[in-house]
Amino acid sequence: MKKVNTRELHRDLGYFYLGLIITFAISGIFMNHRDRFDAAKFTIETSNVKISVVIDKEITEETAKAIGASLGIKDQFRRHKIKKNILSLSYEKNDVEIDLATGIGQITTFVKTPVISQMMKLHKNTSNWWIYFSDVFGISLIFIALTGAMMIKHGKYTFKQRGWKLALAGILFPILFLIFG
């Protein structure tokens, strides 16, 4: 039986996960900025609306669907919420926000951004097989990082000589951000 070569395993895992690493990196950047813009979809139309229905603070899913239907929205209902007196209705291709005090609101119609929306879906996916695959991916990234740190065995660029300082800085930076951020 052939002895496992860590360098070869490091290389092959790196090759195997290359696409996923790039996909997660790109979609992660977009996820970091999702409070400024939604890269997964782009707006194709907005329209102002006013509803005349008296709305209580408690809105059931049925009531939310009825409001959407009264506004002419026909696509798949996803969810609703009330935050700071604003009713938000989420549909597959539309978002609705209505001020509960005035009944004035806006419908935003959008389409999903090709490729980017699918990439970002990987971060949100909760299916069992994807969770297990992501766990194996995470363990593999730890392995790739550790074996990569130990690859250089001689000279001034070894982990013992230089790498530990950079690794420590890489660990301290997120810790400081969590403390002071």
The tens place of each residue's pLDDT in the chain, 181 residues long, gives 777 788 888 888 888 998 888 888 888 888 888 788 788 888 889 999 998 766 666 788 998 999 999 999 999 999 999 999 899 999 999 999 999 889 899 999 999 888 888 888 877 777 888 888 888 998 999 999 888 888 888 888 888 888 889 889 988 988 998 899 8
- Please return the burial class of 72, using the count of CB atoms within 10 Å of its CB with bins 0-12, 13-18 and 19+: exposed
Please report the pLDDT score of residue 91 as a whole number: 96
Please report the pLDDT score of residue 54 as a whole number: 62
Please report the pLDDT score of residue 161 as a whole number: 87
CA dihedral 49, 53, 54, 56 (to 10 degrees): -80
Dihedral pair phi/psi, residue 93, rounded to 5° = -130, 5
Please report the pLDDT score of residue 55 as a whole number: 66
Q: How far apart are CA 157 and CA 130, in angstroms?
A: 37
pLDDT digits (tens, 9 = 90+) for 139-158: 999 999 888 888 888 888 88
Closest CA to 46 of 113, 114, 105: 105
